[in-house]
């Protein structure tokens, strides 16, 4: 378990930059994800890749040894109730795919809250049996408020249930989220914003106790995805300032 987690959260810095490209699992296919193969040049800059089994199989070369955080939940599309998902991948297939962690979402306050919590429990039990870390994603329903009270509660519940690490959203007073969550916390990037704002968010999250990011759109939808992931890495792993990181982004190649 620890060895697999160390492939994702790097022992040298105690931090991680995960690249999230699992959006398509509920029918959301933004920007560069329409042509997934184009993202390959980004992979070497990420500490881990979060994606679905289908995309792993068809778009990532088996020669690539990047640690995989496999989304093993599905069953809902963005056209209907997002919280209505189940576990769709067996632990045997996750092991066969040699993943470093498995992940699903929990929808606290969502219509199918209980089912999503039982999904997480299933993954934690599998993970305990086979030594595979579980990442709990504190997904936010359309009508949920992304504040420290709600995200803190969801993150703490995930940890209480045995998640090895937690992915949540950044919010004001983020220290109130990390301070009550006893396992490592990474933040999602959320919708695409200006590059400087995304870098500021990463910086604030690290300063307030996150161990890293699991960022998607703010990297692959940037006009310089490689510049942006390098800039995020500088903040996460080297404690670079936002100005220093922004400079790295600006000097990155345009496009992929």
Integer Cα distance of 213 and 64 in angstroms: 21
Distance of CA 169 to the CA centre of its chain: 10
Beta strands in 107-255 (DSSP E): 134-138, 165-168, 185-188, 212-215
Contact call for residue 116 and ligand 5RP (CB under 6 A):
no
Contacts 24+ apart (CB under 8 A), 191-199: 191/217, 192/30, 192/31, 192/217, 192/218, 192/221, 192/222, 193/218, 195/222, 195/228, 195/231, 195/246, 195/249, 196/242, 196/246, 198/228, 198/232, 199/231, 199/232, 199/235, 199/242, 199/245, 199/246, 199/249
Integer Cα distance of 163 and 177 in angstroms: 15
**Binding-residue total with ligand 5RP (CB under 6 A):** 14
Q: Which residue among 45, 217, 230, 237 contacts ligand 5RP (CB under 6 A)?
A: 217
- Which residues, other chains included, contact 121 with Cβ-Cβ below 8 Å and sequence gap of 6+? 161, 162
- 167, 203, 208, 230: which one is catalytic? 167
Per CB under 6 A, the segment of 32-40, 118-126, 178-186, 209-217 that binds ligand 5RP is: 209-217
Per CB under 6 A, the segment of 7-15, 16-24, 112-120, 143-151 that binds ligand 5RP is: 16-24
Nearer to ligand 5RP, 168 or 178 (CB): 168
Q: Is 167 a catalytic residue?
A: yes
Site for ligand 5RP in 17-56 (CB under 6 A): 20, 22-23, 50
Per CB under 6 A, the segment of 60-68, 110-118, 143-151, 185-193 that binds ligand 5RP is: 185-193
Q: Which residue among 137, 166, 232, 245 contacts ligand 5RP (CB under 6 A)?
A: 137
Q: Which residue among 133, 216, 227, 252 contacts ligand 5RP (CB under 6 A)?
A: 216
Least distance to ligand 5RP from the beta carbon of 50, Å?
6
Integer Cα distance of 86 and 99 in angstroms: 19
Per CB under 6 A, the segment of 4-12, 57-65, 128-136, 213-221 that binds ligand 5RP is: 213-221
Query: Which residues of this protein are in contact with ligand 5RP, per CB under 6 A?
Result: 20, 22-23, 50, 105, 137, 139, 188-190, 215-218
């Amino acid at each position: 378990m620890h060895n697999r987690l160390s492939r994702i959260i790097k022992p040298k810095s105690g931090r991680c930059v995960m690249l999230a490209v699992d959006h398509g699992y509920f029918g959301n296919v933004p920007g560069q994800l329409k042509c997934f193969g184009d993202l390959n040049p980004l992979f070497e800059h990420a500490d881990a890749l979060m994606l679905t089994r289908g995309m792993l199989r068809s778009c990532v070369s088996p020669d690539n040894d990047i640690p995989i955080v496999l989304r093993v939940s599905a069953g809902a599309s963005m056209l209907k109730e997002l919280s209505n998902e189940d576990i769709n991948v067996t632990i045997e297939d996750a092991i066969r795919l040699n993943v470093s962690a498995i992940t699903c979402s929990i929808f606290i306050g969502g219509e199918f809250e209980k089912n999503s919590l039982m999904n997480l429990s299933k993954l934690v039990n599998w993970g305990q049996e086979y030594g595979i870390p579980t990442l709990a994603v504190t997904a936010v329903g359309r009508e949920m408020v992304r504040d420290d009270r709600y995200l803190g509660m969801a993150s703490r519940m995930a940890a209480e249930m045995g998640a090895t690490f937690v992915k949540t959203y950044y919010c004001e007073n983020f220290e109130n989220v990390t301070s009550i969550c006893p396992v490592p916390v990474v933040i999602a990037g959320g919708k695409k914003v200006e590059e400087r704002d995304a870098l500021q968010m990463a910086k604030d999250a690290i300063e307030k106790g996150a161990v890293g990011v699991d960022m998607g759109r703010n990297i692959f939808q940037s006009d310089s995805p490689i510049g942006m992931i390098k800039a995020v890495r500088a903040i996460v792993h080297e404690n670079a300032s936002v100005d220093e990181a922004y400079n790295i982004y600006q000097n990155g190649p345009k496009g992929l």
